[in-house]
Structures are given as structure tokens and as C-alpha cells.
């Protein structure tokens, strides 16, 4: 694997009428990663994706795909499943996949063999001649996914891929995403559902009002925003002067959440509690969820923007 | 280019392999044939109601010369009118025709009396009037001692034969304009139907792509312009296929119908009573007509017709595509956006009808140059040999307009297809045309 990222954006700007949809965004998607693109509705995620997929063009800034400046051949290396997606209802699913595959530059034979592989995987080998409109909604979503990855894209972009999917199909697609990642596909996963990001993604970018307000590895970000809070499950009685060692955030019978005082270490607190004869059943650091970080950052950035525009 | 070809293929194949298309394409000619058979049977149906008519002709105007018709029998009788009226049934007559004496030979009116339970049917009335007119004419000739030869000499058939001013110019006859008008009307109507049927098909199909949300999937692989162009070409090919199938099937089915049922499909136009044309005249006219059809410069008209056809189709259907792309999920609200197409097409149709009657009027000339009208109006004028410069200007303008319409529509299209839940006005069309993507 080479070092350069699969996708790099530099100072990308896109303005519609008077609205700045993408405000000088710079970011890198590491090769082979699952990259979460987060942001509230209307933050500019879809506008950004449309620039990457060459549907629209940036007003300024540059986009590099696998080290190359974005050009008209690149759609063949990208698989894009938009949030607004669908299929031709009257077409047979085999013919439909063949058509979409060939539009992505596959030869007829290549496309056919790929389709057969996926049909076997989903155990629908005899479905070639079924019409799209005869399929259940979940099945249509699976076909849509197959259509997106049929040409083995280097970069896969999924915009809210699980919306409208039941839990079984959600898991099935999740497994396929991990499987594709193992085969070397880089994946951009755009959503506003945090719990999915936490589960799937290694890297994230947080976009609000067209700006990149936070970018990095999920673990690092959570560590960066940690507040040194610990949950202690215990038996016995907590020492009276615990509050001199740590601030009690929440108390609930045999469980307590405390925040370490400035400069204190978790080991010291644990040692102190053991010395005091408290039986410790569990001692966990509480990292903030992405959801909390997300909300905090968005509020902060909105406040900043409001203040900036107020002056 | 390769992708454009794939799109054209899909647009074409998914339509022509659809059951509804195959049925409509095949059933229409059969429906036509069936219609003709049924109409022929109805018209050919003869009254089985036979009538015996007693004729009282005391002054021998008819001289006993009134031939029987099918189901209509005349019998000259010497009975009194009153007697006959009383004993009509027992004498087995259905009606009495009283031929009164002619008092004034110079009079232009002559009234006969028909006595029966009910008034004569239209065909009986026409038949009797016809027969009596001839008989009265003979009677008057005899009584007034007129010379038959001189009388016949009064009937003069006047013809106007247009001759070219310059030597070696096209020698036409009056029938040229009749045939030109006919061909022009047919061409104009085909254009009109094609624009509406297939243009609307393009529009619906673009809308469908938008409402089923396939469009964003598509344009992540192909340029929106290719998607639109592929659709227009694909649907246009479907239209040509259908027209071609009909052009072959309808005449051959007509031929079969004529051969099998012995029905003259041409007879209906000459069905009006009284409009009898001498068979000799008819034959002469047919021959002249055929010669004129051959005289028409098909080598010029046919390619030009194709050019106008394609130009008109691309111009109008690209606009339909742009409208389809800007409609939201609600079909109704886009209807007003189609007005800019519907109005010129309908106007052009009326201008075309006027143009075949006066192909060199300034209305016809200017309309056949104005690109929004020319695809319908100019084909109607082609058979009248319009000046070359008019054709040239008209074709150049049409091609330029079509190309720019396709281009501008492409620009509206690429914005429109990604726009959801927004009501679009014509003003926004203008903005979108010049918006960068």
C-alpha cells in the first residue's frame, strides 16, 4: 500500500446561489479505512459527495483521488449509493445490474460474472429475470448495494446506507462493508446516526454548516474529549471524604460516577478506595460518546458562527 | 460515446420489448382494417324493404320510361288517383307517384306528389328526383324543339394549366397543388403527432427517473447530458419503429381487406349522393395524379422531411425533457410548464392548414422560416417548390435552434433532476440555464 490517501480534498468551496454549501473543506481519507462523514441535515455532506463523485464541480479548491487530480475517468473507480436512490421498476434485475455495471466501464462478460457471484452470495441465483417491482423493499436495497459495488470500486461512498433497512438486512450490508474493506476498498460512510459510526468507522470528519469542524481517528477523538470520569461499582460504604479526592457526578446505590480532580490519577483513586476497605466490582473510564462530542461541537461551532456574523 | 450508446440501447429496448408497445403497434393497424371492414359493411348494407310504386302520368311526361331499381319497382297505371288511394292495399302497391302535367315549359320548378303511409326514405327520394330530372330534361328538349348537339355544346369543362415562365421550368398542372396540399397535410400531421406522443413520452420517462430516485445513481456514472440525449434518441427510435411498422402494416392490411372482402376502401370519399363522377374522368384524373406524384421532387422532399422531422423532434422533446426534470413528484403542477411547447405546436398546425391553401403567402413563408413553426409548416410547403433560399435559411435556423435547445435543456435538466420538493417556475429555468455546476 502506498502512503497517499485514497481521497484528499484541499480548500474545496461550493456556493449555490448565495448559500455556501461547502466552505473551504480540507480533509484526507486514509486508504483502506472506513471513514465516517458526520453532520446534521443540511450540513453540506451531500454537496461534498456530489463533488467527489463528479456530479458537480467545486468552485475552487482541488480533489485528488488516489493521488490523481479528479477527472472524468474517475467515476469508474467510485461506487456511490446516494441517499435518494432507486431502480428502474420495470427492468429485470439481471439486466438492470448489467446495465449499471457496463455504465461503470465493465465489459458485458465481466459484469455478468460479477452479477452471478453476488447472486450466489445472496442465494438468489435464479432471480435474473425477476422485475425490480416484484421485489420487497429490503431486497431492492440489497440489489441497490450490489449495483454500487459491482465494478469493484476503489472508493465506495454510502450516503445513509441503512435508512429503510430492517435489522437483518442492516447486518448483512454491514458484514459486506467489512468484507469489502478487507479486500482493500476504502469506504466513506455518510450519516447523522452516531451509533452506527461508532460501531463501524475508524476515522471520522464532522461537518457543520459546510465546514470541517473535527477530523481524526475515532479513538483519538474520544480520548481528546474525555473528561476523566469513572464509573465505580462497589460493595460496602464509600469513605466520607471521597469528595476531597474526586467530584461525585452521579450516585446510584452501589454505583457511582466520579470525576477526577485536576492532576489526580485514576490509580491513586482506586488505591485510596481499596485502602479504605471498599470492595470494587468494576472501575471503568467513561469516554464521551461520539453523539455527545458531535452535539457539543455543533453547538459550539454554531455559537461561534453566530457570534462571528453578529459583529 | 460508448455510454451514450448503452443508454440509447436501454431506452429503446425496454420500450419496444414491452407488451403494451407491441400490442399497440400491432393492434392499431388491425383496428384500422377492422374499422374499414365494419364501415364498408354498414355502407354496403342495402335496404331489404322492397316497394312497389304506382305511377300516374296522365300527360305522358315520363313516357313510361322509369327503370326499376333494386327493391323499388315502378308500374305505370291508368287508374284515378282517388281510386288508387282507396284500393292501394288490395292492388298491392306501397306508394303512388303522381306526375302532374307541366303547365309552363320555361319554369324551373316542377313538383311531383308521392302518396304513401310514410314519407319516402332519403335514398328513394334522391333516386326518384334524379330519374325525374333526366326525364323532364328529355321532355323539355322534345317539346321546345331544341337541338341536342347544341345543348351538349353548352357544357364546357374549363381547366387551368399552369405553365412555367422560363423555358425548361417545371410544367405543373392544377392537380399538383392538390397533391402537394395532401402530402403537406400528412407530413404536418405526422410531425404534430410525433411531437406530442413521443415528446410526452420523453417527459414522463424523465419524471419517472426522478420520482423513482434512480437519477442520482445514474449520473454518478454518466453525464446528465448523455442521459438526456440518450433518452431523446432512444425514444425517437421507438417512435420511428412504430411509424415504420404502421407504414408497412396499414397499407398492406388495407390491400388484404380489399382483396378478401372486395371492398373499395377509397369509395367512402365519393359516397356523397349526387356527386357522381364520370368513370372516364376519374381514370384520367388518376393517371394525371400518378404522373404528378412522380413529378414531385422526392429526392429533395424526402431528405428534407427527415431533417425537419429530426430537427422538430429534438427541439421539442429536449424541452419536454427539461420540463420533466423540473417537475416534482406531483404530475399536475408541471402541466403549465408545457405551455411554451403546446402553444407553438398548435399554432403551427393551424398555420400549416392555411399554408397548404396559400403556400406563398407571407404568413406561410415567414412561419416556415421561424424555427418553432418550421418543422410543421415547411414540410407542407415543400411540394409547392418553395425558393431554395427559403429552404436553406429555414433548415439552417432549425438546426441551430435544435442544437441550442438541446444544449439549454441539458443545462436545465442537470439542475432539475437533483431538485426535490420545489415548485419550479419558468423564471427559474432561465437561471438554471446559466448556472455553473
B220 touches chain A (CB under 8 A): yes
> Rounded to an integer, what distance in angstroms lies between the CA atom of residue B133 and that of residue B83?
27
Contacts of A76 in chain B (CB under 8 A): 221
Looking at residue A157, its pLDDT comes to: 94
Work out the average pLDDT over B316-330: 83
In the predicted structure, residue B82 carries a pLDDT above the cut 80 = yes
Looking at residue B272, its pLDDT comes to: 43
Task: Supply the ipTM of this predicted assembly.
Answer: 0.81
DSSP letter assigned to residue B69 = B
**Among B6, B7, B216, beta carbon nearest to A84:** B216
Record the cell numbers describing residue A6, joined without a space: 485514497
Give the mean pLDDT of chain B: 81
B18 touches chain A (CB under 8 A): yes
B16 touches chain A (CB under 8 A): no
Q: Where are the domains of chain B?
A: 51-149, 172-433
Beta carbons within 8 Å of B254's beta carbon, 6+ residues apart: B32, B33, B36, B265
Burial per residue of B35-61, b for 16 or more beta-carbon CB atoms within 10 angstroms, e otherwise: ebeeebeeeeeeeeeebbbbbbbeeeb
Write the pLDDT tens digit of every residue in B277-304. 556 666 776 776 667 666 667 777 788 8
Beta carbons within 8 Å of A70's beta carbon, 6+ residues apart: A52, A54, A62, A63, A64
Work out the average pLDDT over B384-395: 88
In the predicted structure, residue B6 carries a pLDDT above the cut 90 = yes
Looking at residue B293, its pLDDT comes to: 67
E strand or H helix at B73: strand B72-76
DSSP letter assigned to residue A135 = S
Per-residue pLDDT tens, chain A, 311 aa: give them.
457 889 999 999 998 877 888 999 999 999 989 999 988 888 889 889 999 998 888 889 999 998 889 888 888 999 999 988 889 988 999 999 999 999 999 999 999 999 999 999 888 888 889 999 998 888 888 899 999 999 999 999 999 888 878 888 888 888 999 999 999 999 999 988 887 888 888 899 989 888 888 888 888 888 888 888 888 888 888 887 777 778 888 888 888 888 888 777 888 888 888 888 888 888 888 888 888 888 888 888 888 777 776 55
A77 touches chain B (CB under 8 A): no
**Among A53, A88, A99, beta carbon nearest to B220:** A53
Q: E-strand spans in chain A?
A: 7-16, 19-29, 34-38, 60-65, 68-69, 78-81, 155-159, 186-191, 203-208, 211-217, 229-235, 246-252, 255-260, 279-286
Q: Alpha-carbon Rg of chain A, whole angstroms?
A: 24
Q: From the CA of A35, how many Å to the nearest CA of chain B?
A: 20
Contacts of A50 in chain B (CB under 8 A): 418
Which among A15, A57, A72, A88 is the top mutation candidate for probing chain B, defined by the most B β-carbons within 10 Å of its own β-carbon? A88
> Rounded to an integer, what distance in angstroms lies between the CA atom of residue B314 and that of residue B320?
10
A151 touches chain B (CB under 8 A): no
In the predicted structure, residue B346 carries a pLDDT above the cut 70 = yes
> Rounded to an integer, what distance in angstroms lies between the CA atom of residue B402 and that of residue B309?
11
Write the pLDDT tens digit of every residue in B263-280. 554 544 444 444 445 566
Write the pLDDT tens digit of every residue in B70-79. 777 888 888 8
In the predicted structure, residue B258 carries a pLDDT above the cut 80 = no
> How many residue pairs bridge chain A and chain B with CB atoms within 8 Å of each other?
60
> Rounded to an integer, what distance in angstroms lies between the CA atom of residue A84 and that of residue A97?
18
Looking at residue B275, its pLDDT comes to: 44
Percentage above 70 pLDDT, chain B: 84
Looking at residue B428, its pLDDT comes to: 73
* CATH topology assigned to domain A7-222: Rossmann fold (3.40.50)
Range from A242-246, A277-281, B191-195, B238-242 carrying the lowest mean pLDDT? A242-246
Looking at residue A49, its pLDDT comes to: 92
Looking at residue B173, its pLDDT comes to: 60
* CATH topology assigned to domain A227-286: Alpha-Beta Plaits (3.30.70)
**Interchain pair B217, A56: CB under 8 A:** no
Structure confidence at residue B171 as a pLDDT band (50, 70, 90): low
**Interchain pair B212, A88: CB under 8 A:** yes
Q: From the CA of B344, how many Å to the nearest CA of chain A?
A: 32
Q: Where are the domains of chain A?
A: 7-222, 227-286
> Rounded to an integer, what distance in angstroms lies between the CA atom of residue B403 and that of residue B300?
23
Looking at residue B269, its pLDDT comes to: 44
A57: left (phi over 0), alpha (psi -120 to 50) or beta: beta
**To 5 degrees, how large is the angle CA A223–CA A225–CA A228?**
75
Which among B19, B204, B220 is the top mutation candidate for probing chain A, defined by the most A β-carbons within 10 Å of its own β-carbon? B220
Contacts of A87 in chain B (CB under 8 A): 212, 214, 217
In the predicted structure, residue B159 carries a pLDDT above the cut 50 = yes
Domain boundaries B51-149, corresponding CATH code: 3.40.190.10
Range from A75-84, A203-212, B150-159, B360-369 carrying the lowest mean pLDDT? B150-159
Nearest residue on chain B to A76, alpha-carbon basis = B221
Looking at residue B326, its pLDDT comes to: 83
Contact, A231 vs A256, CB < 8 A?
yes
> Rounded to an integer, what distance in angstroms lies between the CA atom of residue B305 and that of residue B310?
9
CA proximity to B96, closest of B111, B71, B74: B74
Contacts of B214 in chain A (CB under 8 A): 85-88
Contacts of A75 in chain B (CB under 8 A): 220-221
Amino acid at each position: 500500500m502506498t502512503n497517499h490517501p485514497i481521497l484528499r480534498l484541499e480548500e474545496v468551496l461550493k456556493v449555490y446561489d448565495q448559500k455556501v454549501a461547502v466552505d473551504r473543506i480540507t480533509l484526507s481519507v486514509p486508504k483502506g479505512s472506513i471513514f465516517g462523514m458526520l453532520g446534521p441535515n443540511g450540513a453540506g455532506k451531500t454537496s461534498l459527495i456530489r463533488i467527489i463523485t463528479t456530479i458537480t464541480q467545486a468552485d475552487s479548491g482541488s480533489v485528488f483521488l488516489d493521488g490523481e487530480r479528479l477527472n472524468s475517468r474517475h467515476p469508474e473507480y467510485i461506487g456511490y449509493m446516494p441517499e435518494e436512490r432507486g431502480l428502474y421498476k420495470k427492468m429485470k434485475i439481471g439486466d438492470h445490474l448489467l446495465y449499471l455495471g457496463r455504465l461503470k466501464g465493465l465489459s458485458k462478460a465481466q459484469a455478468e460474472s460479477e452479477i452471478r457471484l453476488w447472486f450466489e452470495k445472496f442465494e438468489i441465483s435464479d432471480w435474473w429475470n425477476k422485475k425490480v417491482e416484484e421485489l420487497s423493499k429490503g431486497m431492492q436495497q440489497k440489489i441497490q448495494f450490489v449495483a454500487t459495488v459491482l465494478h469493484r470500486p476503489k472508493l465506495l461512498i454510502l450516503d445513509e446506507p441503512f435508512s429503510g433497512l430492517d435489522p437483518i438486512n442492516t447486518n448483512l450490508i454491514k458484514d459486506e462493508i467489512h468484507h469489502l474493506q478487507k479486500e482493500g476498498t476504502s469506504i466513506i460512510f455518510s450519516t447523522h446516526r452516531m451509533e452506527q459510526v461508532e460501531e463501524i468507522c475508524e476515522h471520522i470528519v464532522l461537518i457543520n454548516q459546510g465546514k470541517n469542524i473535527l477530523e481524526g481517528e475515532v479513538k483519538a477523538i474520544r480520548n481528546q474529549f474525555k473528561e476523566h470520569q469513572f464509573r465505580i461499582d462497589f460493595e460496602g460504604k464509600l469513605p466520607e471524604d471521597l469528595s476531597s479526592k474526586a467530584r461525585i457526578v452521579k450516585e446510584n446505590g452501589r454505583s457511582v460516577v466520579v470525576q477526577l480532580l485536576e492532576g489526580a490519577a485514576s490509580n491513586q483513586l482506586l488505591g485510596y478506595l481499596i485502602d479504605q476497605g471498599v470492595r470494587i466490582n468494576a472501575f471503568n473510564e467513561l469516554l464521551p460518546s461520539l453523539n455527545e462530542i458531535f452535539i457539543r461541537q455543533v453547538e459550539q461551532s454554531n455559537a461561534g458562527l453566530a457570534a462571528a456574523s453578529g459583529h | 460515446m460508448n455510454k451514450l450508446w448503452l443508454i440509447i440501447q436501454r431506452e429503446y429496448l425496454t420500450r419496444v420489448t414491452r407488451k403494451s408497445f407491441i400490442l399497440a403497434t400491432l393492434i392499431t393497424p388491425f383496428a384500422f382494417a377492422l374499422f374499414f371492414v365494419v364501415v364498408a359493411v354498414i355502407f354496403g348494407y342495402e335496404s331489404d324493404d322492397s316497394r312497389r310504386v304506382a305511377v300516374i302520368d296522365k300527360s305522358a311526361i315520363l313516357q313510361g320510361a322509369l327503370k326499376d331499381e333494386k327493391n323499388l319497382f315502378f308500374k305505370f297505371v291508368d287508374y284515378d288517383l282517388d281510386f288508387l288511394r282507396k284500393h292501394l292495399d288490395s292492388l298491392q302497391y306501397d306508394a303512388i307517384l303522381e306526375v302532374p302535367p307541366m303547365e309552363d315549359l320555361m319554369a324551373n320548378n316542377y313538383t311531383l306528389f308521392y302518396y304513401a303511409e310514410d314519407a319516402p326514405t332519403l335514398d328513394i327520394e334522391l333516386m326518384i328526383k334524379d330519374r325525374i330530372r333526366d326525364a323532364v330534361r328529355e321532355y323539355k328538349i322534345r317539346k321546345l324543339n331544341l337541338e341536342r348537339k347544341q345543348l351538349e355544346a353548352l357544357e364546357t369543362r374549363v381547366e387551368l394549366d399552369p405553365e412555367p415562365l422560363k423555358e425548361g421550368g417545371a410544367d405543373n398542372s392544377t392537380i399538383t397543388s392538390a397533391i402537394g396540399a395532401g402530402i403537406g397535410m400528412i407530413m404536418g400531421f405526422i410531425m404534430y403527432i410525433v411531437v406530442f406522443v413521443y415528446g410526452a413520452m420523453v417527459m414522463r420517462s424523465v419524471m419517472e427517473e426522478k420520482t423513482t430516485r434512480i437519477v442520482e445513481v445514474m449520473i454518478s456514472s454518466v453525464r446528465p447530458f448523455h442521459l438526456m440525449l440518450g433518452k431523446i434518441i432512444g425514444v425517437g427510435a421507438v417512435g420511428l419503429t412504430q411509424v415504420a411498422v404502421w407504414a408497412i402494416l396499414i397499407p398492406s392490411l388495407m390491400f388484404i381487406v380489399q382483396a378478401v372482402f372486395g371492398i373499395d376502401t377509397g369509395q367512402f370519399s365519393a359516397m356523397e349522393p349526387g356527386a357522381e363522377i364520370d368513370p372516364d374522368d376519374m381514370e384520367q384524373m388518376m393517371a394525371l395524379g400518378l404522373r404528378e406524384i412522380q413529378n414531385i421532387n422526392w429526392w429533395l422532399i424526402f431528405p428534407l422531411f427527415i431533417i425537419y422531422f429530426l430537427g422538430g423532434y429534438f427541439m421539442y422533446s429536449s424541452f419536454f425533457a427539461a420540463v420533466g426534470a423540473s417537475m416534482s413528484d406531483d404530475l399536475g403542477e408541471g402541466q403549465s410548464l408545457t405551455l411554451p411547447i403546446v402553444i407553438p405546436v398548435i399554432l403551427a398546425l393551424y398555420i400549416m392548414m392555411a399554408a397548404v391553401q396559400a403556400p406563398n403567402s407571407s404568413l406561410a413563408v415567414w412561419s416556415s422560416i421561424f424555427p418553432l413553426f418550421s418543422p410543421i409548416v415547411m414540410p407542407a410547403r415543400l411540394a409547392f417548390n418553395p425558393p431554395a433560399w427559403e429552404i436553406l435559411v429555414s433548415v439552417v435556423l432549425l438546426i441551430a435552434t435544435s442544437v441550442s435547445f438541446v444544449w439549454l435543456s441539458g443545462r436545465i435538466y442537470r439542475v432539475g433532476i437533483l431538485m426535490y420538493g420545489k415548485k419550479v417556475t419558468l423564471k427559474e429555468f432561465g437561471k438554471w440555464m446559466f448556472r455553473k455546476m
